Amino acid sequence: MLRRAPDLYRLAEWAEEESILPKMRKHFSRLRRRLEHARLYVHCKDPRCGRTAKWMTLPRFHRGGWLPRPYYWCDEHGPWETSGISPKLPIHFDTIRAFRDKWGQKKTHKRIRQALGIKKGTRITEEFALRFFAKLS
């Protein structure tokens, strides 16, 4: 999940359509639910706020779809404009599903990983992942 969430989301979606791999799907949804409790390390973009962010918005790409350049927001604040901007989406790997292109999915995964406090270049070993998910209840 931490290493290759976009592939997993695609696999799970496909398995769902085919009604196969029930164990994998169950485990996957358990990890997704756990992630809802993850601590976030990004702050609201409102200059006078500075609270921990819970939401993200994405700019619309001129060719359709979204650009994986999120802005982060708390419960109270949001973008000043609404045109050309996505609604507030949770800072969660689920947002990967808003993208149809693999590049956008990959980039978004990286951004969210950083928002979860996983620094660039961190080696995500099985041990690291187990420790990460063990902290979430």
Interacting residue ranges for Zn ion, rule: CB under 5 A: 44, 46, 49, 51, 74, 77
d(CA 113, CA 118): 5
CB nearer to Zn ion: give 8 or 89.
Answer: 89
Fill in the DSSP letter of residue 119. -
Least Å from the CB of residue 82 to Zn ion? 17
Least Å from the CB of residue 80 to Zn ion? 12
Least Å from the CB of residue 87 to Zn ion? 16
136 Cβ neighbours under 8 A, 6+ residues apart: 34, 35, 37, 38
Least Å from the CB of residue 42 to Zn ion? 11
CB nearer to Zn ion: give 9 or 73.
Answer: 73
CB nearer to Zn ion: give 45 or 109.
Answer: 45
CB nearer to Zn ion: give 73 or 93.
Answer: 73
Q: Are strands 71-73 and 89-90 parallel, antiparallel or unpaired?
A: unpaired
